[in-house]
Amino acid sequence: MESLRPAIERFLDSPGLSESTRRAYASDLRDFEDWLERDRRRLDDVDVAALTAYTAELGRGRRGLSPATVARRLAAVRSFMRFTLGATRVPETAIPPRRRRRLPDAPKLAEVEEIVDAAAGDGPLALRDGAILELTYSCGLRSAEVVGARLADVDFEQETVHVLGKGAKERVVPLGERAAYAVARYLRDARPHLARGACDALFLSARGRPLDTSHLRRLMRNPHRLRHAYATHLLEGGADLRTIQELLGHSSLSTTQVYSHVDARRLRRVYDSSHPRS
């Protein structure tokens, strides 16, 4: 049977895919290619029944992938088929399993302060890490946005940070007072000791190189929780969802609306404790 490898490579080389999507799809499509070969199917043979069978295999037995992973694999397969065969050849009735909505695990303010305080210190690396955590929480940044920040992105005069987000989408977010102080101190007292030649990355490693996202995971197991805290605390403070959507860089309001469910829990507690007929 003719190999799908050349067709997969052409699809992965298409300019519409981000680097992270390309890596994920490469793994997903290798699995799909292996499945087709085991079942002695050609891509042209893939119909609703075939996709249903593939979906069932992904979710059962030792593989037992989560609904979110199965949905992503099917999205990769459908995108590949659309690219290779055309939109009319992609089965429309094979529906990915419904993803279970998981409310963001947002740390309370006291926990955020504990996380930041744990990195406190006067050495260059401690000042750097404290500034990273303050900036992440103050601006609601993704890990990749933090390590991708450049020196020119922080505007102390305007108290803003320029952010290059997913899909090269740009946004400008306010810079909080504590984060501004932490970043300014890092730039004054720490970064000069870390720099090794010309590099415009805001945060540098001990060897003077740009950091990668693994560094944030060393500072806290799930740094994305600080972004959840940012959104949740804004909402609890009275910010509307549209504003939070812009600050987070979400392309769709539906992505941001998950935070309304988080806030609903707080509203319920307030209602139960204060309304005479609760």
State the catalytic residue, choosing from 25, 137, 230, 259: 259
Q: Which of 100, 82, 99, 103 is nearest to 91 (CA)?
A: 82
261 noted as active-site residue: no
224 noted as active-site residue: yes
Residue 107 to residue 138: CA distance in whole angstroms: 14
State the catalytic residue, choosing from 128, 227, 228, 230: 227
Q: Kindly state the tokens that stand for 272.
A: 């139960």
State the catalytic residue, choosing from 22, 82, 162, 166: 166
State the catalytic residue, choosing from 72, 142, 215, 225: 142
250 noted as active-site residue: yes
State the catalytic residue, choosing from 171, 185, 224, 233: 224
From the number of C-beta atoms within 10 Å of its C-beta (0-12, 13-18, 19+), residue 97 rates as middle
166 noted as active-site residue: yes
271 noted as active-site residue: no
Q: Which of 141, 121, 112, 109 is nearest to 220 (CA)?
A: 112
Q: CA torsion sign, 199 to 203 to 208 to 212?
A: negative
Q: Which residues are catalytic?
A: 142, 166, 224, 227, 250, 259
